[in-house]
Amino acid sequence: MHIAFLTPEYPHSRIKRAAGIGTSIKNLAIALSRKRIQVTIFVYSQSEDAVLEDQGVTLHLIKHKKYPIGGWYLYRKYVNHYINRTVKSQNIHAIEAPDWTGMTAFMKFKIPVVIRLHGSDTYFCHLEGRPQKKKNFHFEKKALLGADHILSVSTFTAEKTKELFRLKDTITTIHNGVDITLFTPDHSTIIPKSILYFGSVIRKKGVLALAEAFNTVFLKEPKAQLTFIGKDVKDAKTGTSTITLLKSILNKDALENTTFIAQIPYSEVADAIRKSQVVCLPSYAEAFPMTWLEAMALEKAMVTSDIGWAKELMINGVTGYATHPDDTQKLSDGIIKLLQDLEMSKKMGSQAREHILNHFTQDQIAQKNIKFYKEITNS
């Protein structure tokens, strides 16, 4: 069986962008390859045309092209034509694309098309309560209606997407998984009283709520250290940098104990998580976040949000504490408990990894995907 993925991002040194969608696709692609499924990845909007081999997976980098008029349509048709040639020459059985901005709208294939819901622009705009460009909604809906099958990384995302687009088709949930061989615990490097946030530094991830909570944490734990690792994103509401907003929220003493680190290579993320005592990821908007899976696999007790998707991964009071980001008092209470009660922190971290081992290893998730693709391709 030969499966292809169409994506705007993928973790590789020759590819200019990679985030959660790219990471989850790469994890799945490598796991499928190890199980003797042939995998091809088409990465569009790149700076070059190239065909590469990476850990048993074939990557096709498709250079972005500019057109005097109608580029949004003509580039889609160019990518579509490129993929169709490869589908025919390489005998690809099915192709999958993410829901984000509906890239497969106006594309036609002679093989089954699967859209996997990682969280569309429509979905995130709804969760964040912000306006959306009409063309994004139109493209995403057209892509979803044109798909032969729809998968989702969480049931919450599936149900919300069906509601927003008024879809009637059945949506199958296959959660994201994590490679437990890459994310192995090591408690010997933990920095006492350290709190870590990692991911894009942006309002929707709950970082402003975390800053408010840290002011309270610092009053009870003056040795606490908060670290933000991730790209500073311009704030949609104020137009200023999010880190500037964070610095305005943190009081003087708490700010002195706060460190901001720009993006680090993906290979170094696991070490940064290992060194932290507590991981806090209080996001307002996710589908099924890889960051949470990675931290739990590394036996980190976490403080997270409790919105929708969270209930499919976190077990409040068992794998950590979950609360709404707006409740900064409960957010700070959870962090303080895990900083002060080392035995509880260790126990919750252990239970978090056990939960991953039982339900969310990449091997388990790969098997579910293989079963799904065999069913839709009759392979």
Task: Decide if 331 contacts 210 (C-beta within 8 A).
Answer: yes
Residue 251 CA, distance from chain mean position: 31
Task: Decide if 147 contacts 139 (C-beta within 8 A).
Answer: no
Which neighbouring-strand residues pair with 259?
Answer: 227
Write the pLDDT tens digit of every residue in 182-198. 999 999 999 999 999 99
Q: Could you give the CA distance from residue 103 to residue 89 in angstroms, rounded to a whole number?
A: 22
Q: Could you give the CA distance from residue 296 to residue 163 in angstroms, rounded to a whole number?
A: 30
Q: Which domains does the chain have, with CATH numbers?
A: 2-177+361-377 (3.40.50.2000), 187-359 (3.40.50.2000)
pLDDT on residue 13: 87
Write the pLDDT tens digit of every residue in 103-122. 999 999 999 999 999 999 99
Which neighbouring-strand residues pair with 59?
Answer: 41, 52
Write the pLDDT tens digit of every residue in 343-373. 999 999 999 999 999 999 999 999 999 999 9
